[in-house]
Structure 1
């Protein structure tokens, strides 16, 4: 039996804490900031995205490496680009849009890598019904037998919760490790199911409240900015929906802004990867908010919504810079 693309990858649901000790055998893995891919190696290599698309034309060096392994296998991995001392999601997105000679040229400047964490098939044997710890052992044996080198890398994994907690340090986040994957050691691979857990690294940050969705006196969410090197207010985050108490607190102190506002007449996307435009109301940018954020950044902008924590009356907008 052979797997053939597309194969639905097993997915994860977000959690806010590590599992309590002793609940079940758990394995922890680093969650890298990249694209989820399934790699079909062998004479007919294929690089499949999470949604089933063919990413091979954008990453020709990965396809060539998959063809050259000398064994037919299906590997689950995170596709990443290392640039300027960290995993660079923006560079990865840029590469994904390229084809032909431009893709080949950029592969030399911004080579991609595969952080592999699961093995679904090897030499015609499908492993998805085997427990995770056995699939991991088979993956490690494959790495050892073929002496894998770049662009292949083995995802760090541990059964020790104390070690896993160190991977939640913001220093790892600065390098592009978003947090942890938490997996049942004895579980089979279930395509399309959210059978794993994902715990993101969280930290505090500040932003200038530049606009709101909803109304100024009954805001639903916040648009937050920071001052760039030229003193211009640059959008860096949008908040999750505000609680009733937070909306009342902010609605009492926010003031509407007019055409003098730096975002007056601007257009912002309603969401990452969408073409719809966000309807917002500019406010006087003189209040600073503390927010809870994860480490996923695109050119300084938070990719995921942030959570409002409180106003920072002890800080002025001039204190909040990129």
Structure 2
């Protein structure tokens, strides 16, 4: 029986601007999903978000799969939902925010996969003091034969191959690479790794939204380099659903106005500071911005309405 119990603080990554290439490194693809620790103990599975919150009820499909792991196993990894050949971040956020009543239907409509990138315990043994290379070998031996929905992430020690991944995998929804030292122990609660994102998007502060809170049509954004707020292009159905679930928690009193391309000045509902969006910004006759995804502040746990997590939870990202 594993000595590790939730809540367990996870290791995180420090952003870097270029691909590290020194000796003794390992490279893993960074999937665009929801960070989760899986515990198999006492004859059942427990699923913990990065914040420490137990999210087992939101993922009944992964609970069933994790129950097949040997007792005393603890995995760290990323939950993703695959749609049309790539990961769908909005879909996995819908899964994470599901109520117990809605979770089974969402599990059938949007089945989750678990990309395991570390083995923290096996057979009750705490493996965190071991070097990453030894943990990786044991992870592959344990999880590799299981098959979907729980599988080990790919890994390479070749920086050339890692560079190829960085250039080609974003088409599948992979947002970058996580870089780890081969001889490094697992450091719970520390920024022990490095993360390199590859994206053509920019982060913009979300100032407000147009439409109704339950059916927002566009976001009002402060895009770096633009002198005035921009009204985004209409949100996709998936983003609209995600925004509708989040906006009531952030709506501030009052109203504002912004200029929408082709529509002139329009009114919008303002939001409290904290939300950002990754946008693809372009320039035609008027500046335009397409929202690619919403980002949450580090202290916010998206699965608990109206609650902020002072313990360092948040986006459930690496």
| TM superposition score normalised by structure 2 | 0.69
Tell me the CA shift for residue 228 of structure 1: 8.4
2:131–2:182 contact (8 Å) kept in structure 1: yes
The 3-state SS of whatever aligns with 2:269 is coil
List structure 1 segments (4+ residues) > 4 angstroms apart after TM superposition.
210-214, 226-229, 260-263
Number of the residue aligned with 1:202: 199
Aligned match for 1:301, one of 263, 281, 292: 292
Number of the residue aligned with 1:266: 268
Number of the residue aligned with 2:105: 105
Structure 2: runs of 5 or more not aligned: 205-218, 241-257, 278-283, 297-318
Number of the residue aligned with 1:57: 57
- C-alpha distance in 2 between matches for 1:53 and 1:212: 31
2:220–2:229 contact (8 Å) kept in structure 1: yes
CA RMSD of aligned residues (A): 3.6
Q: Deviations over 1:154-184 (max 9, x none)?
A: 1010000111011112x42131100000111
The 3-state SS of whatever aligns with 2:75 is strand
User: Pairwise mapping of residues 93-172 of structure 1 onto structure 2 (< 5 A)?
Assistant: 93-144=93-144, 147-169=145-167, 171-172=168-169
User: Pairwise mapping of residues 23-34 of structure 1 onto structure 2 (< 5 A)?
Assistant: 23-34=22-33
Relative distance call for 1:267 and 1:184 in structure 2 (3 A) is same
- C-alpha distance in 2 between matches for 1:89 and 1:187: 30
Structure 1: runs of 5 or more not aligned: 235-255, 275-284, 292-298, 306-322
Tell me the CA shift for residue 40 of structure 1: 0.3
Based on CA coordinates, which of the two structures has the bigger radius of gyration?
A: 1
Tell me the CA shift for residue 126 of structure 1: 0.4
- C-alpha distance in 1 between matches for 2:291 and 2:276: 17
2:128–2:185 contact (8 Å) kept in structure 1: yes
- C-alpha distance in 2 between matches for 1:29 and 1:91: 23
Q: How many residues align?
A: 252
2:232–2:291 contact (8 Å) kept in structure 1: no
- C-alpha distance in 2 between matches for 1:5 and 1:108: 27
Tell me the CA shift for residue 302 of structure 1: 4.1
- C-alpha distance in 2 between matches for 1:194 and 1:46: 24
| TM superposition score normalised by structure 1 | 0.68
